[in-house]
Each structure stands twice: as structure tokens, then as C-alpha cells.
């Protein structure tokens, strides 16, 4: 904010003082008006603010007025004789902090607009940030018209320790405050009830506080209020009064919108009751009131001798006895994890559960199982009970085949179920009465299913010293936090009871608050995000509200559990004769949910009671905007493409190279003809710089690493770049840290690493725009397109990434979030779309040059032209000496180097034809988009694909031996499938397994990725192509499995999907490598690419003849009769790398039938060269109709024996049917003499093809190929040799060339080589060969062989030799 600007504060409190101090530190002038008696006035003056005599004086000539007021005096404050309105200047913004209800605020806004049309009112909710992220910061949530909230943003832009949120229409801020106030009020009363219940149960209040503060029952109110309660802090009265007033305002709002708030209603009554202690007109401490209600003096309890429950636990573990044989009863969700953890910790565990499949699972892990509690309990040292309730505990201990009668003397029993303290006490007495020294440990647990399996539970334990020493090693193995509670059996359950009271109330209050927010028409997801930073937050709010927002009630802890647990609280409160109003109402809420059929749903389903009762929907679907509407609302694009001139100027003015450090291979999504290095020694970088390229990529794959490793890697690369650049005179470079367009990756760690080597930059450029992936940045909000909608990135699945998750969609806030406040959002500059589209590259250059050194700049963009305008402006700034470090998505790179897009690449574009192997598709990415794409791939291509699922559990979580077995299995199947020409999908199991920390999640990712690498490395069959899905997967496969040190980006297989050509040093040089990002494309994108790259279907005869026409050669069509003949033709064609046609004559079909045709088709499909199957001399209509359905690629319609008119009709009829199936049709005009397969045409019947008739024939029948008679014959030529009419052939060639019809010559057997060549020169593109091949077969049979196999082999080789000779003669060798 400008130092000349002034800010006024009318009314003040502690927050106002903090905010005023921030303004003063920024250089702004501060004025204030507060009543005389208010101590805030003196405090403001001490800070340097000017005190004013009236609101009007304070507001005079100020740009921003912050008003603190309640509803009673607001009219006088604004519109009185010395009211604010009388001092406001034109364009001033008034930020209203008040307890006014939204309707009252709207009236104020309208009245202010009537009296002062050129001032602006904003609704404000201001609070101190309490989250780790925003601790010690002032959070300003402003709502109103967009132009006003953006105007107000400028006032807060340069303030330290201040965060500003703009939240939509006027009144929203106050509504969010009401939701938070509801939570605070309920949490206050719940904290009081919990503490007094715990003290009545005999637990020291400090012990309760220490444990609960770090447990699931914690809340910010509990952490803040309880110390005040235990120390009789006078601020407790202030807190109580504030909570009561806030609750009253919320109740008023609930009444206005007709919404039930049972929890708050009861809490409000308790707050009134607590405030009833008065002396005169002054409220006094509520402790006396609560002492009378709860029957205990909590201060006396707090003054009793304290102990450290955690240290007692540490001492216990050190001194505990070793136990070996453990019995475990109850393998439910928690129990199974606990028992499994004991196995991992080396204990011998025998278990029982009523559900047999669970026992089988436990046995698979190496545990022992028995058929009853009685059998489990024999000869164990420790017996653990982890059942659902007291009734089940009673049954397994004392019921039929119960445990107690068979327990050995001295056995220790750990009861970990959540039961009432009274039940534990009674059970202890019963066990003592057994007189067998059976020891009971009361050890309830907390933490959930996942932590149970990890051995990181919180456990509270109580019992005799001996019992605890006997069980300490087991309790330690199960827990991360262990507390020893003094007071004997029942004491630990009392602490658990207190925790469950708070946890249950907090879930219930979260349900009430979020439902209330929905009734107020708030964006519930945004309410959740803001309350996370405020005082109304609790651990349960943070954990359970996401379930409500996602409408996902998969049970982690069921509603019925809190029906039971709060029932325990109710029962114990009845025993103690103390009223617990809020927890009783919460209990009723859970009972209502259970009665409605949601008992087994997640406990967050308590919100459904409110939804069903009131009709609201809490589900917080991500805010989705119409992409079309948003893009159309933007200004028109800059009219000219500035990049051509800029790139030319830059290339003439400097030798600056763009060096892109790509954190996974998908960054090449928008470029082509660019080199990628996977290694970066100085020598390789020098070699690259000497080429003076505009750009090259270095594949770092750092996204798969921990932050520390990524930092070291980037530093190493930058040092090598510096050394290489110094070795090449005149070269300079700009570093781009290419990262994920959905904001995942090591930021700011990698940027910090680069700067630590390269020195401070003038600015960091943040630009995640990526058109092909549907990523847009508009008004600093980064969006992800989903079909025709735009979703803020922070509300997508990408923001929930286990390693790189984030909350902010606003990139300025994202920078602050990722830098953990080191760079505040107010310090982040932006290049707006308005500037790009209205002012152009020069304005971009000016903005970049005007920034302070070390700035961070967000680039908004919604089109490639926006990107080009920014890139042009950046080039201008670089030419002026500015240095930038860029953190961008792929679109920036292509814009910066002025590269033009080109269409997707298909196999044919690379000259790829048929292959002998299948393609290999490897999927490792776990983003939900990938899973959807895999599902769609299987739906569309499942019949043709072979699918191998890699078990992630086996690859990442099991022993090395089991891991190797899984890898071997996949490799064996992969080799077999690929060799059999089947496209093969190797996909990791889709259940996402994450670690407890981002680092552990990355470690799991590494193990999975390394397993995929090992699989691909050991698949030794060369695939037709390789597609790797996911950034980490594709990088590791390229560098580690395929051993590529460099590659060239050829282009894209689909928009945003790079296609590489791996270097010659790689294991499969020349094999296309498709790098498919995990987050690109719609659900069908993967299927589309795979279908584009399927093994090419066998070529059509039409395609073979067209290629022959273009190449000036002919294709041989060889008649076949059996398997040996088929194999001979294919083997010869493959040996000569030639196309060929397998030809079946009607007489052969009569003998071989459908199996002969099937063999031909199978051979054609398996061949590595183009082979087609042709039906020859179809002179019978019925035979031809059958042939059309057999799978032939082409047919010859032979009506040559018919008069011309009949021939035309006959041929035309078949031609129309065949053409509809995409089959080539050949026909004969004229008639050959001679014999073929028992059919003889006498010489007198033969006739030459008439050219005139041929023209009519072609036009009428629409045939594709014409077999002509020019003196050629079937069978043997006479001894005088062939006498071909080449002059006639020449005329026919002229005709057929004009008509687009191929010339065919039957009777090629016996034609001299020279004559064959002349025919080819005159346009013959297909020769039929039969006699010579058949004769070679018959001759081979005359040679004696030992057995049939040798006969077949000999015949095949004889025919193969003839076919190969003909192929060479026809000129088709090498043309496949």
C-alpha cells in the first residue's frame, strides 16, 4: 500500500490493533476513533496511529475504513451528526466487522449507497490464524462485489503477517463467521463437560488435558480454554461472555432461516447458566456455578500432585518383562491390524474371531488360529481382548467356551475394547476372585484402522504395577504414544471416555455446522477450508468433514460406535449424578442416524440427520465454471503473433539456449524435433551447447525423489551447466524447471537449489498453463478443465497427492502455502490476461523489468496466444539483461522457442509397417484419471489386449523373495504375449497404497516404479512400440529399463502425449516410445492412442496393387492348395521382404474347404510382410457369395465365358456386394485358353480383350482390377513359346490407367523374364502363378524321404524357391 494512503479504524479490539500495526509497518497512515474509556485508543497511539475525536474525522480522506460495531449502535455510527458517512471520500472502501446479521448488513449497504453513491461497503470476517500454515497471521475474509474485493486486496497486498481472501457476494463473510461461532460455542461447553466428567472419575485434570490435547478429542477451544479453567484465569469470563453473545447471534440467524440447531441450543443454555454468577452488575467466575452443577471443585483437583503419564510409560517399557505367546480375541478392523502388527514385531500370536475368512487372512500372514476363545487362551502369557462392546467381552471371557476358565495362573489380560470404566472395575474384581493371579490391564486404544496396522496407536493403560510390567512390551509394540494412568483398572477407560465424549460432540457439531452453512447457501468446501485456520476447528472437524463434502460414508468408524461410546458417557454421568447436556444431545443425534438406517455408515453420516430433516445438501462438489462462459468473458486476444519476430531478433542478438530441467518425461508434450538428455556430464552438455540449439531437455525425474535428493540433483545439474557454458564461448542459457501443470512437484526446493548455484534471479516465473491438458490460469486462479467445466486446481484429485498435495487454487496463495509463508501472497506479482491481451509484449517487458530483484511472478493465460505474448515480452526483458528462473508447464516451452504445433504422429508417419511382435503398454500412474483411462481402455480394447496386473502389495510391501516371484510371473507372461503379437498391458493394481509421510509415499512409489523397470528390462522380446503411462514410470523405463542416454522428441502421439525416438545406445533403438502423462486427456484418450497403434491389420489387395503402381513393379499371386504351399509363399515373401497374394482356386476350395481359407488368413495375419488372400476364378455366383463371407481380401469374378452383357450383369452384382465389404474385385474380359485345376478352355474358345468393350465393362461394373487376354494362357505355353500382343497391352494400359484400374495377367508360368519385364513396364501389376509352383511340389514328391515331416519340408523348400524367383522377377523384392 502506498505510504501516502491512510487507513481509518472506527472501533478497535486486539485484532484491530494487530492489523493497524501491520498498516503502520507498511508505511500507511493510521487514524482511529474509539470511545474515551477504551484502552485500545492509547495502544493505537503508542503504535503511531492518530487518534480522532469522531468517526467522521477518522474517515476523512482515508481510502480504507475498518469498522468494528455491534448491531445496536451502527446507525448512529454511520449516519449520526459525526458519523462515518460525513467523512468518507470518493472511492473509499468500508470494511465492516460486526455482529450484524446478513439481512441487517444488506440494509446498511443499501442505505449507504443511497446517501453516498461513490463509496463501497464490504462485509468482513477477521480472525487470528491458528493453523500451522497461518499461525500468527491475521486472516481477512472479505465479501462483496468482485471489483470492490479486488480494490480492497490492494490495501492488504504489502502487509506482513496478513492473509486476504475474497469470498464472493456481500454477506458471505459474516455467514462463515456464524458457522465458526457455532463450533466455538459448542466446543467450549463440551470442553467444560469433559473436564468435569474426567475429574469426577478420579483423573487429574492436567493428565486429561495433556492426553486429550494430542488425541482425536482435541479442539482449538479445548487447548485454549482448559488452561484458563484450571488456573482461574480472568480471561475465562471474557471467553464465556463472548461465546454466549456469539451463540445468541447464531441462534438469531437460525431462527431467521428456520433451521434447527439442537446442539448449539443446549450449549447456549449452558453458556447462559455459566454466566449466571454475578456480583452486582458484574459477571464473576463461572467456577462456582459449575462446581454446584458437577459436584466437584476443579481447582482443588488441579492442585493435587501431578505426574507425567508419558514418562511413566517410558519407564514401564524399559522395565517390562518379555512375553512370547500372545492370545488375541477379536480380529475386527482394528483388531486385525493390531494382531498383524504383533506378528511383525516378532510375537507368536494365536487368534480367534467369529468371522472365519478373517481368521484365514490372519493365518496367511503367519499367525495361528483356533476355533474358540477357550482354545486361544490355553497356555498364553498375555490375552488381548479387542471386541466391539461389553456384551461381547463378557461372552468371550465367561460365555460358552470362554477364556477365563482355561487361563493359566499369572496370565495377563489386556482389555482394549472401549467399555465403561464401571465394567472394567467389575471385571477386575471378578478376575481377582478367581484366585489364580490373573492380572487385568485396562488399555483402550485410539487412532483408527491404519494406525493399528502400523503400530502407531495411542494407548492409555491402567492396572497394577505388576500387570503393567508384564504387558509393557506388547503395549509398546502397538503404540506410538503410550500413557500410564494412575488409579487402577477403570482409570484408562475413564480417560478414553472423556476423549470419546469430545470426539463424538465434535463430529456432531461439525455435522450441525456444515448443514447450517449449506442452509446459508455457503460453499461448504470453502467453509471447511477457512474454518481449518480458525478457532472453531477440531481434529474431528478436519478428519470427518471431508467425508461429508465427498458424500463418502465408507465406514472408518461407524455411527453405531458413537451410539455405544456416548451411551457409556450417558451411563457414567447418571452414576455420578452430573448433567452433560451437549454430549446427551450428540448421543441422541447418533441414535437418530442409526435409527434412520445409517448405523453402519461412517460416523460422519450424522450429518444425514440434518440433511433429511431440512433438505439441505452438505456435499461440497467442487466449484465448476462453464469453460465456454469463462473463456468468452475474457478480452479479445492480442491480434498479432509476436513470436516469429522475437525469436529471430533473439537468435541474432544472443546465443541464449533454453535448458529445460524436466521433472518427468511428460514435459516434452508440446515440442518436436528437440533433443532430450537423460544424463548430464559436463562433456555431454558442452556437446549440446556447441550445437547452439534453441532448446534442449534434461530429464531429471526429480518428482520421484525426496525433496533433499531433488535439491542435490538440481544443484549438480546447474553446476555442470555453468561449467559447460563457460567452455563454449558466447553461449548463455535460461533454466526452465518444467513441472506438473496441476502444481505437483518440488517447489520451491528446486528453484532454491537452482538459485543457490546460478545466483539470484530478477524474478521467478510461475506459469502452469497447459492448453492440451486443459489447464488455465485466470485471475490468478489455476483451473483444471473437466469436459466443459473448469474446476479450481485445489479442489481436484491432483491436490490430494500424497507427496505433493496442496489446498490453494489461487497461485499467489499457492506460492505462500508451498514456501510456508516465506513468500507471502502479497509479495507475489502477476501478469494478468487483461495486460497480455490489451497491452501486449511491450507491457509484459515493462512489468518484468519493473519488478524488484528476486520477485515471484504469476503468469495468467487462457490461450496459446497469451503464452506467445508473454514469451515475447520475456525475450525483450532478457535482451535488456534480465535473468529469469521459470517454473512452468509444457506450453511455456513451445511458446518461448516459437515452435509450431504439428498433427499427431501415427505409425505410418514413421514408416512402420507390419511387425512380428505386440506392443507393450506399461501403466504405473495412480491419479484417478489414469484409473478411469485404464478402465476405458479395457472396455474398448479388452478383447484384443492381454492384461497383466502387477500386485503393488507384492512389489512394494512384501519380502524380496515374494517381490521377485511377482516380477518373474509378469516377465514370463509379457514375453509370451508380445512374442505372439498381442498388445500387452502391464498395469499396477489400482488400490493406492500410501505411506504415513510424503517421504514414505515416495519410497513406495519408488519400489513400484523399480519393479516396473525390472519387468521391462527383463522382457527381451522387442515390442512393436512401448507406451509408458505416468511421469515417474515413463522416466524410469526410458533411462533404467531401456538404458536410453538421449532421445529425440518426434512429436506427439496425441495432443499432450509425447512420442520419442530413443538413441542408438538404448536396448530397443528405433522402437517408438510413447510418453503418456498420468493427468492428460479424457477418459478415452489412452484407448485412442492404443487403437491408433494396434498391430496393423493385414494389408488389402487394393493397397498392394496401388503400392505396386506407385513403385512400378508387380505383385505375385500364387495358387495354394495346402499348408506347405501357404508356408512356402509366406516364407519366400518374408525372405525377399516382398508383398504377396495367397490365391485359392475354386477346385482347391472344394477340396480344402473353410480350413484352407482359415490357414491362409492366419498366415497372412502372422506374416511380417503384407500378405493378402484372394479367391480366384469365381465363375459360380453361389460360390462367390459364400467366398464373400469367408474372410477373403479380394475376389475374381470370372464371367469371361458369358456374353458381354451377361458378364457385365454378373460382375456388377458381385462387385457391389464385395465393394460394400471393402474387398477388391478383379474381373476378366476376353478368355484365356489352356487348363487350370481341371478346367480347360480350348484354343478356339479363347479370345483377346477388346479395348472398347473393356471401357464399357469397367464403367458398368466398377471393378478394381482387370484380368486381360493378350495371348497369355493357363498352364503350359506351346513349344513355340508365348506370343503376347504387347500392342494391345499398351492400349489397355492407357485405358485402365485413366480409369484407375489395375492390370492383371494370368498365366505367368513359363513366360520369359524379358517378356515379364516388358509387361510390368506396360503396367501389369499382378501376375497369377500356379503351374510352376505346383510342378515343383509334385517333383519334390518323387524324391524319397524317410517320413512325412521330411516330405513336407522338402515340398515347402521346392515351392519356396520358385516363389522367391518369381518375386525377384516381378520386382517386388524389398518392397514390403
Long-range contacts of 1004-1008 (CB under 8 A, 24+ apart): 1004/952, 1004/956, 1004/957, 1005/704, 1005/803, 1005/1032, 1006/704, 1007/955, 1007/956, 1008/924, 1008/950, 1008/952, 1008/955, 1008/956
- Give the separation between CA 227 and CA 225, rounded to whole angstroms: 6
Bond before 1260 cis per omega within 30 degrees: no
The CA–CA distances, whole Å, from 82 to 56, 144, 421, 517, 1246 equal: 5, 26, 64, 37, 121
What separation in angstroms does the CA of 1211 have from each of 548, 568, 1111, 1267, 1274? 71, 92, 29, 13, 21
CA angle 306, 309, 315 (to 5 degrees): 120
**Interacting residues of 1325 by C-beta distance below 8 A, sequence separation 6+:** 1105, 1108, 1109, 1113, 1114, 1115, 1265, 1302, 1303, 1304
Q: Which of 116, 175, 439, 496 is catalytic?
A: 496
Give which of 229, 234, 233, 235 is closest to 296, Cα–Cα: 229
Determine the Cα–Cα distance for residues 565 and 572; give it in Å rounded to an integer: 11
Compute the distance between CA of residue 471 and CA of residue 492 in angstroms, rounded to an integer: 15
DSSP reduced 3-state for 234: coil
DSSP 3-state of 946: strand
Answer yes or no: are the C-beta atoms of 806 and 743 closer than 8 Å.
yes
Helix (H, G, I), strand (E, B) or coil at 1285: coil
Using an 8 Å Cβ cutoff, are 982 and 1021 in contact? no
Integer Cα distance of 223 and 1104 in angstroms = 82
What residue ranges in 962-1033 does DSSP mark as E strands? 984-988, 1026-1029
C-alpha distances out from residue 150 to 145, 154, 164, 839, Å: 9, 7, 10, 20
CB 1 within 8 A of CB 155: yes
DSSP one-letter code for 497:
H
For residue 829, give the H/E element and its range: strand 828-831
* Separation CA 1112–CA 1094 (nearest Å): 30
Contact call for residues 880 and 849 (beta carbons, < 8 A) = yes
Three-class secondary structure of residue 1103 per DSSP:
helix
Q: What span, in angstroms and rounded, lies between the C-alpha atoms of 202 and 672? A: 74
- How many alpha carbons lie under 13 Å from residue 355 in its C-beta half-sphere? 11
1228: enclosing H helix or E strand: strand 1224-1229
Q: What is the spatial distance between Cα 236 and Cα 383, in angstroms, rounded to a whole number?
A: 46
The whole-angstrom separation of Cα 606 and Cα 559 is 7
Q: Please give the helix or strand (H or E) that residue 922 lies within, else none.
A: strand 920-923
User: Pairing state of beta strands 1224-1229 and 781-786?
Assistant: unpaired
Place of cell 490468478: 780
496 assigned to active site: yes
Count of helix runs (H) and strand runs (E) in the chain: 53, 49
Closest-CA residue to 163 (of 131, 210, 120, 198): 131
- Residue the block writes with cell 502389495: 953
**515 exposed, middle or buried (CB, 10 Å; 0-12, 13-18, 19+)?**
buried
- Distant-in-sequence, close-in-space partners of 290: CB < 8 Å, separation ≥ 6: 192, 196, 274, 298
Supply the residues annotated as catalytic.
Answer: 496
Amino acid at each position: 500500500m502506498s505510504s501516502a494512503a491512510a487507513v481509518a479504524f472506527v472501533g478497535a479490539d486486539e485484532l484491530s490493533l494487530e492489523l493497524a500495526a501491520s498498516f503502520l509497518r507498511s508505511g500507511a497512515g493510521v487514524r482511529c476513533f474509539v470511545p474515551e474509556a477504551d484502552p485500545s485508543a492509547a495502544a493505537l497511539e503508542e503504535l503511531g496511529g492518530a487518534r480522532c475525536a469522531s468517526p467522521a474525522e477518522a474517515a476523512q480522506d482515508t481510502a480504507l475504513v475498518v469498522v468494528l460495531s455491534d448491531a445496536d449502535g451502527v446507525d448512529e455510527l454511520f449516519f449520526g451528526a459525526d458519523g462515518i458517512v460525513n467523512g468518507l471520500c470518493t472511492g473509499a472502501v468500508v470494511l465492516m466487522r460486526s455482529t450484524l446479521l446478513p439481512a441487517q448488513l444488506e440494509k446498511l449497504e443499501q442505505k449507504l449507497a443511497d446517501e453516498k453513491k461513490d463509496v463501497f461497503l464490504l462485509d468482513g470476517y477477521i480472525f487470528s490464524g491458528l493453523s500451522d500454515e497461518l499461525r500468527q497471521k491475521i486472516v481477512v475474509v472479505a465479501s462483496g462485489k468482485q471489483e470492490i474485493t479486488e480494490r480492497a486486496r490492494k490495501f492488504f497486498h504489502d502487509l506482513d503477517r496478513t492473509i486476504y481472501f475474497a469470498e464472493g457476494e456481500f454477506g458471505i463473510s459474516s455467514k462463515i463467521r456464524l458457522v465458526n461461532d457455532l463450533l466455538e460455542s459448542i466446543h467450549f461447553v463440551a470442553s467444560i463437560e469433559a473436564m468435569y466428567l474426567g475429574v469426577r472419575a478420579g483423573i487429574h485434570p492436567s493428565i486429561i488435558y495433556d492426553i486429550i490435547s494430542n488425541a482425536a478429542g482435541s479442539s482449538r477451544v479445548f487447548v485454549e480454554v482448559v488452561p484458563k479453567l484450571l488456573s482461574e484465569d480472568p480471561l475465562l469470563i471474557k471467553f464465556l461472555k463472548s461465546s454466549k453473545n456469539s451463540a445468541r447471534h447464531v441462534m438469531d440467524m437460525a431462527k431467521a432461516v428456520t433451521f434447527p440447531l439442537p446442539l448449539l441450543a443446549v450449549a447456549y443454555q449452558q453458556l447462559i447458566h455459566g454466566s449466571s454468577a454475578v456480583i452486582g452488575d458484574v459477571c464473576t467466575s463461572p467456577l462456582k456455578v459449575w462446581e454446584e452443577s458437577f459436584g466437584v471443585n476443579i481447582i482443588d483437583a488441579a492442585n493435587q500432585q501431578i505426574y507425567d503419564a508419558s514418562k511413566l510409560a517410558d519407564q514401564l517399557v524399559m522395565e517390562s518383562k518379555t512375553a512370547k505367546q500372545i492370545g488375541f480375541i477379536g480380529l475386527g478392523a482394528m483388531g486385525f491390524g493390531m494382531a498383524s502388527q504383533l506378528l511383525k514385531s516378532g510375537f507368536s500370536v494365536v487368534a480367534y474371531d467369529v468371522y472365519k475368512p478373517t481368521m484365514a487372512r490372519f493365518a496367511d500372514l503367519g499367525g495361528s488360529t483356533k476355533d474358540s476363545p477357550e482354545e486361544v487362551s490355553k497356555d498364553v502369557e498375555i490375552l488381548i481382548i479387542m471386541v466391539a462392546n461389553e456384551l461381547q467381552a463378557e461372552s468371550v471371557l465367561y460365555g460358552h467356551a470362554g477364556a477365563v476358565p482355561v487361563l493359566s495362573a499369572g496370565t495377563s489380560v489386556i482389555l482394549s475394547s472401549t467399555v465403561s470404566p464401571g465394567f472394567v472395575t467389575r471385571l477386575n474384581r471378578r478376575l481377582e476372585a478367581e484366585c489364580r493371579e490373573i492380572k487385568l490391564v485396562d488399555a483402550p486404544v485410539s487412532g483408527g484402522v491404519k494406525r493399528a496396522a502400523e503400530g502407531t496407536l495411542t494407548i492409555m493403560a491402567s492396572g497394577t504395577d505388576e500387570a503393567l510390567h508384564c504387558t509393557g512390551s506388547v503395549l509398546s509394540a502397538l503404540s506410538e504414544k503410550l500413557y500410564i494412568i494412575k488409579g487402577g483398572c477403570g482409570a484408562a477407560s475413564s480417560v478414553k471416555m472423556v476423549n470419546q465424549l469430545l470426539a463424538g460432540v465434535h463430529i456432531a457439531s461439525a455435522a450441525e455446522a456444515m448443514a447450517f452453512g449449506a442452509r446459508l447457501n455457503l460453499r461448504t468446501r470453502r467453509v471447511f477450508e477457512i474454518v481449518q485456520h480458525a478457532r472453531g476447528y477440531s481434529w474431528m472437524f478436519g478428519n470427518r468433514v471431508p467425508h461429508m463434502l465427498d458424500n463418502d460414508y465408507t465406514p472408518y468408524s461407524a455411527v453405531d460406535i458413537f451410539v455405544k461410546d456416548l451411551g457409556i458417557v450417558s451411563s457414567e454421568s447418571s452414576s455420578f449424578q452430573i448433567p452433560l447436556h451437549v454430549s446427551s444431545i450428540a448421543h441422541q443425534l447418533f441414535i437418530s442416524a442409526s435409527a434412520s438406517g445409517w448405523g453402519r455408515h461412517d460416523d460422519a453420516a450424522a450429518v444425514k440427520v440434518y440433511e433429511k430433516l431440512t433438505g439441505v445438501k452438505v456435499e461440497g462438489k467442487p466449484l465448476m465454471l462453464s469453460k465456454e462462459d469463462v473463456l468468452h468473458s475474457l478480452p479479445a486476444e492480442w491480434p498479432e503473433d509476436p513470436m516469429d519476430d522475437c525469436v529471430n531478433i533473439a537468435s541474432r542478438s544472443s546465443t541464449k539456449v533454453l535448458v529445460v530441467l524436466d521433472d518427468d518425461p511428460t514435459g516434452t508434450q508440446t515440442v518436436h524435433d528437440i533433443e532430450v538428455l537423460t544424463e548430464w556430464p559436463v562433456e555431454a552438455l558442452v556437446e549440446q551447447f556447441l550445437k547452439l540449439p534453441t532448446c534442449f531437455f534434461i530429464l531429471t525425474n526429480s518428482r520421484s525423489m525426496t525433496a533433499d535428493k531433488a535439491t542435490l540433483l538440481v544443484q549438480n545439474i546447474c553446476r555442470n551447466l555453468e561449467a559447460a557454458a563457460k567452455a563454449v564461448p558466447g553461449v548463455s542459457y535460461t533454466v526452465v524447471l518444467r513441472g506438473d501443470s496441476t502444481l505437483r512437484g518440488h517447489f520451491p526446493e528446486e528453484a532454491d537449489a537452482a538459485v543457490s548455484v546460478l545466483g539470484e534471479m530478477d524474478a521467478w516465473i510461475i506459469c502452469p498453463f497447459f492448453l492440451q491438458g486443459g489447464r488455465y490460469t485466470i485471475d490468478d486462479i489455476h483451473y483444471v478443465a473437466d469436459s466443459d467445466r473448469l474446476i479450481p486446481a485445489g479442489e481436484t484429485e491432483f491436490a490430494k497427492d500424497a507427496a505433493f498435495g496442496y489446498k490453494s487454487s489461487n497461485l499467489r496463495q499457492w506460492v505462500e502455502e508451498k514456501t510456508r509463508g516465506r513468500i507471502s501472497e502479497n509479495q507475489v506479482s502477476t501478469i494478468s490476461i487483461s495486460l497480455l491481451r490489451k497491452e501486449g509484449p511491450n507491457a509484459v517487458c515493462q512489468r518484468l523489468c519493473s519488478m524488484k530483484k528476486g520477485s515471484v511472478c504469476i503468469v495468467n493465460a487462457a490461450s496459446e496466444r497469451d503464452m506467445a505474448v508473454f514469451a515475447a515480452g520475456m525475450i525483450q526483458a532478457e535482451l535488456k539483461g534480465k535473468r529469469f528462473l521459470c517454473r512452468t508447464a509444457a506450453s511455456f516451452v513451445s511458446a518461448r522457442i516459437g515452435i509450431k504445433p504439428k498433427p499427431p504422429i501415427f505409425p505410418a508417419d514413421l514408416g512402420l509397417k507390419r511387425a512380428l511382435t505386440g506392443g507393450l503398454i506399461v501403466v504405473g500412474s495412480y491419479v484417478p484419471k489414469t484409473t478411469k483411462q485404464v478402465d476405458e481402455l479395457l472396455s474398448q480394447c479388452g478383447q484384443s489386449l492381454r492384461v497383466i496386473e502387477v500386485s503393488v502389495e507384492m512389489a512394494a510391501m512384501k519380502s524380496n523373495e515374494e517381490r521377485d516371484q511377482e516380477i518373474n510371473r509378469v516377465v514370463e507372461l509379457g514375453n509370451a504375449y508380445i512374442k505372439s503379437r498381442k498388445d500387452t498391458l502391464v498395469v499396477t493394481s489400482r488400490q493406492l497404497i500410501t505411506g504415513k509421510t510424503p517421504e514414505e509415499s515416495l519410497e513406495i512409489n519408488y519400489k513400484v516404479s523399480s519393479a516396473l523397470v525390472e519387468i521391462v528390462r527383463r522382457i527381451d522380446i522387442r515390442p512393436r512400440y512401448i507406451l509408458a503411462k505416468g511421469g515417474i514410470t515413463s522416466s524410469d523405463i526410458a533411462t533404467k529399463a531401456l538404458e536410453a542416454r538421449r532421445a529425440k522428441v518426434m512429436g506427439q502421439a496425441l495432443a499432450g502425449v509425447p512420442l520419442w525416438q530413443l538413441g542408438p545406445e538404448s536396448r530397443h533403438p528405433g522402437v517408438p516410445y510413447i510418453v503418456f502423462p498420468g493427468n492428460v486427456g479424457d477418459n478415452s484418450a489412452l484407448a485412442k492412442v492404443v487403437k491408433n497403434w494396434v498391430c496393423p491389420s493385414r494389408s488389402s489387395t487394393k493397397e498392394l496393387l496401388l503400392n505396386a503402381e506407385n513403385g512400378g513393379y508387380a505383385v505375385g499371386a500364387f495358387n495354394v492348395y495346402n499348408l506347405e504351399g501357404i508356408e512356402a509363399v509366406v516364407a519366400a515373401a518374408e525372405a525377399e521382404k516382398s508383398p504377396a497374394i495367397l490365391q485359392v482356386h475354386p477346385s482347391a476350395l472344394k477340396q480344402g474347404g473353410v480350413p484352407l481359407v482359415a490357414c491362409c488368413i492366419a498366415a497372412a495375419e502372422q506374416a511380417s510382410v503384407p500378405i493378402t488372400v484372394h479367391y480366384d476364378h469365381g465363375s459360380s455366383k453361389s460360390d462367390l457369395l459364400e467366398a464373400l463371407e469367408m474372410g477373403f481380401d479380394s475376389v475374381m469374378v470370372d464371367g469371361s465365358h458369358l456374353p458381354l452383357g451377361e458378364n457385365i450383369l454378373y460382375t456388377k452384382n458381385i462387385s457391389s456386394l464385395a465393394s460394400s465389404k471393402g474387398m477388391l474385385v478383379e474381373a476378366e474380359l476376353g478368355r484365356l485358353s489352356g487348363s487350370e485345376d481341371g478346367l480347360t478352355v480350348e484354343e478356339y474358345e479363347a479370345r483377346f480383350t477388346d479395348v472398347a468393350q473393356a471401357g464399357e465393362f469397367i464403367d458398368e461394373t466398377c471393378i478394381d482390377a482387370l484380368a486381360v487376354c493378350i495371348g497369355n494362357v493357363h498352364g503350359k505355353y506351346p513349344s513355340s513359346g508365348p506370343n503376347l500382343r504387347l500392342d494391345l497391352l499398351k492400349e489397355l494400359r492407357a485405358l485402365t490407367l485413366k480409369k484407375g484400374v489395375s492390370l492383371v495377367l494370368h498365366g505367368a508360368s513359363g513366360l520369359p523374364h524379358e517378356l515379364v519385364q516388358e509387361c510390368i513396364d506396360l503396367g501389369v501389376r499382378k501376375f497369377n502363378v500356379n503351374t510352376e509352383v505346383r510342378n515343383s511340389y509334385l517333383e519334390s514328391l518323387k524324391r524319397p524321404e524317410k517320413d512325412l515331416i521330411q516330405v513336407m519340408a522338402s515340398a515347402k523348400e521346392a515351392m519356396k524357391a520358385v516363389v522367391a524367383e518369381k518375386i525377384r522377377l516381378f520386382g517386388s523384392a524389398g518392397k514390403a
